[in-house]
Chains A and B, each alone.
Chain A
Amino acid sequence: MENLSNNDDFQEVTSAIPGISVFAPKPKVDERRNAQTYTCPQCGGHLAYNLVTSGLACQYCGYQATVQARPLGPVAGNREFTVDTMKQADQGWGKLRNLVHCQQCGAELTYPQGAVATSCPYCGSNSVNVTVSESNLFQPQSLLPFSIKPDQLKQFTQVWLQDGWMHPSTLGEAARMDKFIPFYLPYWAFSTDISFDWQAEVAHTVTDRYYDDASKSWKTRTRIEWRWENGSVQKKYTNLLICGVNPKRLNSNILDELQPFDMSKLVAFNPDYLAGINANAFDIDLNTAWGEAKIKLREAARELAIRDASNRQVRNLTIDMSYADENWRYLFLPVYIAVYLYEGKSYQVMVNGQTGKIFGQKPIDWKKVWTAIILALAPGLLLMLIGLPFILLAGSGLGVIFIGFILLLIGGAIGFSIYSKATRLEAL
């Protein structure tokens, strides 16, 4: 009999039956990520992650070190919604560990609530502490490194500021956007399969002939006939992203516009990436985020059911939906955040740190908007005004009024669309 003893891979665990020993794989080392302070090994200066060189760099002596990147697949490290996980998620973060001993100067640092990277106010050294929660379960397992260099941002910004006619013409020159802050934002990424059966009454246009007693002739008419239809739909969703930052702190509408992120470029979490870069842990817990994701999934299911029907016009729609293979990941995604002032008011702008997609708040020049709306309505109104005297005086000109009416309707639709877009952009 081979003598089994605790070795590198296996360790003895409790057996429920005497005479049978059980060895199980050793659990993965619970990486308690202690706070890490970044100091230069050459000069003792402060090391920080350099977005230009994509490595650690000392701003004093020029020392550079590469950051070990361990690529992960787009769905690696997924976790399930086990009862234990959900219990922990329900209990929140547990005891916060936000007191860190600065290894450089010995100061006791208190991290701002939720922050996972900071600089010591006494010696300026950068430190990273993701162990703000007692539970390792809710520590980031992966992140997307910044691909966009800070020097590219000025160009993106200028193009973006000058884009769109609804904004003030002087925006490009007047708006000052000097400092983009690189930020690692916490995201929950959800993946699931949904499957559902749907049933609905679907509208079918039917043309039939009937005998009209009044005109004593056969005529055709079209009517809507509602027919019951049903179907089954299955769909897989991967990496449905919900930002873990409280929408009161960061504009969620802008964040949504920054997507997509290329999740195939995810790397295993390494605190080196966060040295000297702002990063926050999540404010929105797993349960809340999954709730938000489910709202999106329900809407998607409703849309899929309608698309599955033979006609989009449906009524009495019912759906019975279930989830399978649901899992989640907690990860950091790169975003540049900037605020600019225009005529005394501040506006928030964000750039996807991986793709360079930029989106944010821009002031609306309502004079331009109203002018455009009036111009859209003008042709129709003018034609109707021209046609009206002809009708009153000569009894003709009905055609002109009719064309004017049609143009007014078209103008109204265009005007409404312009107004909606302007209010939506202003509400960002």
Chain B
Amino acid sequence: MSELNAANLSTPEVREDASWMPGAKLEACPGCKRVFLVPAEKSQQLCPLCYQANLAPQPSYIRRESPEIVVQTQLNSAALQQNLESFIEPVPYRLADLTVENLVNRAQLVWWPLWLVDADLQGNWTGTMGFDYQVRTAKENFGNGGWQSRSTLRTQTRYEQRKGTLNRHYDNIKVPALRSHQKRLEQIGNYESKPSLAYRDGILGQNSVQIPEIEPQELLEVAKTHLHSAAEQEIMQANAAQHRQNVKFTGDYLNPNWTQLLMPIISSWYKDDEGVTHPITINGQSGKIYGKPLSSTKQASRLTLGLLAIPALLFLALLVVSLVAPNSLPVDSVCSGVILFFLALIALIPLFRAHQWNMRENKIEDFR
């Protein structure tokens, strides 16, 4: 019987490829430092997540075993187009490159990892369990000189000390494999465990797979915390309780088994006026989009210049008229100056709006 500790974990090997994905090579992005298992046909192309640099071969730690479970993507082409349309629709003075068509054409699937740990928990537990119960109470109303009483029930919780033994097997307890796991979930939303399929050859298609950044050796305490949470939930159910507090487990975490779950991301990109590439990332299951859809400041500037031309031309016309026939001016000079000033201000609106939009969008954190 092996325990959940570093001694019982196989040492990951530094390799250039993985036996479970024939032809694929390990490559890293010099920009974002992420490591991917890349199919031959996508080798040394732009990083599929940051799009800032081309991937370069880089031997890395990788486990021999294939992933165990693959979460299926549920996003079809129509749904993807609709989501992208909603995403870019509010952008003022949209960039020429930021179109649904471009984003769909450039879209590619990327798999990202999550550790799954199985273990047996054997030991003793103590905790405080909360049991809901109902008390009879009343709502009273006074009006028109009399009281009306209505009997109601109120739910209260009674907490009691409990203890016991635990001898349970826990399967597929999720443990983050990336340092940015939580942040990534905040950005693109959570994944449901189902629908998912057991890993088999070819299930990942010709798509890149991001490689875990944290190895199980570093995750022992985190894994124990997650296993403890699963056990806590079951202990509460065993007690037929509705709440729990201060559940403590003292015992062994035995027969650990580490595997991987892969989740789908759809990534795409567009270029801004300066030719800088901006990634757009989509949760492959829910379709939630994360990215910065920027405005075209060039387009806004052109519009502003066009609009500024109107007061400029009017000013010139007024100047000419005042010089040629000073007495035939339709409005006095102060009034015309005010009107021209306001027209000039109005002309600045497109530029101002695009600038404000981009300022707001640039505050959004990069995809992690």
Contacts and interface: CB of A to CB of B under 8 A. Distances in A.
A23 B141 contact: no
Given A1-B123, A83-B153, A319-B142, A22 B162 contact: yes
A15 B164 contact: yes
Given A82-B134, A326-B137, A16 B237 contact: yes
A298 interface: yes
A30 B298 CA distance: 85
Contacts of A16: 237-240
Given A23-B163, A320-B141, A323-B137, A294 B122 contact: no
A427 interface: no
Interface string A10-40: 1010011101111111000000000000000
Contacts of A319: 140-143
A86 B166 contact: no
A238 B124 CA distance: 42
Given A16-B238, A294-B149, A1 B138 contact: no
B138 A23 contact: no
Given A17-B238, A19-B168, A20-B234, A321 B142 contact: yes
A322 B136 CA distance: 12
Looking at chain B's contact residues, is the secondary structure mostly helix, strand, loop, or mixed?
A: strand
Given A20-B165, A318-B143, A86 B160 contact: no
A21 B142 contact: no
B12 interface: no
A350 interface: no
A105 interface: no
A81 B133 CA distance: 11
B140 A298 contact: yes
Contacts of B277: none
B74 interface: no
Interface in A282-296: 294
Nearest to B234: A17
Contact of B238 (A22, A317, A324): A22
Residue in B123, B138, B167, B234 whose Cβ sees the most chain A Cβ within 10 Å: B138
A192 to B, nearest CB: 9
Contacts of B240: 16
B156 interface: yes
Contact of A1 (B124, B137, B235, B237): B124
A318 B141 CA distance: 7
Contacts of B122: 1
Residue in B123, B135, B137, B147 whose Cβ sees the most chain A Cβ within 10 Å: B135
Contacts of A81: 135-137
Interface residues of A, number: 34
Interface in A251-279: none
Interface residues of B, number: 35
A20 B141 contact: no
A416 to B, nearest CB: 26
Given A1-B124, A1-B251, A20-B166, A298 B238 contact: no
A80 B153 CA distance: 12
Contact of A25 (B125, B136, B161): B161
A16 B240 CA distance: 7
Interface string A183-203: 000000000000010000000
A130 interface: no
Contact of A19 (B133, B138, B156, B167): B167
Given A17-B237, A298-B147, A25 B139 contact: no
Contacts of A21: 164-165
Nearest to B151: A86
A280 to B, nearest CB: 27
Interface string B264-308: 000000000000000000000000000000000000000000000
B239 A22 contact: yes
Contacts of A101: none
Nearest to B145: A317
Nearest to B140: A321
B135 A23 contact: no
Contacts of B124: 1-2, 4
B344 to A, nearest CB: 54
Contacts of A302: 142
A81 B122 CA distance: 41
A331 interface: no
Contacts of A22: 162-164, 238-239
Contacts of B160: 24-25
Interface string A366-382: 00000000000000000
Contacts of A2: 124, 165
Contacts of B235: 20
Given A16-B240, A82-B134, A298-B147, A321 B165 contact: no
A188 to B, nearest CB: 15
B249 to A, nearest CB: 11
Contacts of B141: 318-321
A301 B142 CA distance: 10
A82 B133 contact: yes
Interface string A61-85: 0000000000000000000111100
A273 to B, nearest CB: 31
Contacts of A12: 164
Nearest to A320: B141
Interface string B220-242: 00000000000000110111100
Residue in B141, B164, B234 whose Cβ sees the most chain A Cβ within 10 Å: B164
A86 B143 CA distance: 28
A326 B164 contact: no
Interface in A344-394: none
Contact of A86 (B136, B234, B238, B251): B136
Contacts of B147: 298
A326 B135 contact: yes
B163 A83 contact: no
B151 to A, nearest CB: 10
Interface in B166-201: 166-168
Contacts of B165: 1-2, 4, 20-21
A59 B258 CA distance: 83
Contacts of B166: 19-20
B142 A20 contact: no
Given A20-B235, A323-B137, 14 more contacts: A2-B124, A2-B165, A12-B164, A17-B168, A17-B238, A19-B166, A20-B164, A20-B234, A80-B135, A83-B133, A298-B140, A298-B147, A301-B140, A326-B135
Interface of B: 122-125, 133-143, 147, 149, 153, 156, 160-168, 234-235, 237-240, 251
Interface of A: 1-2, 4, 10, 12, 15-17, 19-25, 80-83, 86, 196, 294, 298, 301-302, 317-324, 326
23 contacts: A1-B124, A4-B164, A10-B163, A16-B240, A17-B234, A17-B238, A19-B166, A19-B167, A20-B125, A20-B164, A20-B234, A22-B239, A80-B156, A301-B140, A318-B141, A318-B142, A319-B142, A320-B140, A321-B139, A321-B142, A322-B137, A322-B138, A323-B137
Question: Closest 10 A-B residue pairs measured CB to CB?
Answer: A319-B142, A20-B238, A17-B238, A321-B140, A318-B143, A19-B168, A21-B164, A15-B238, A22-B164, A21-B165
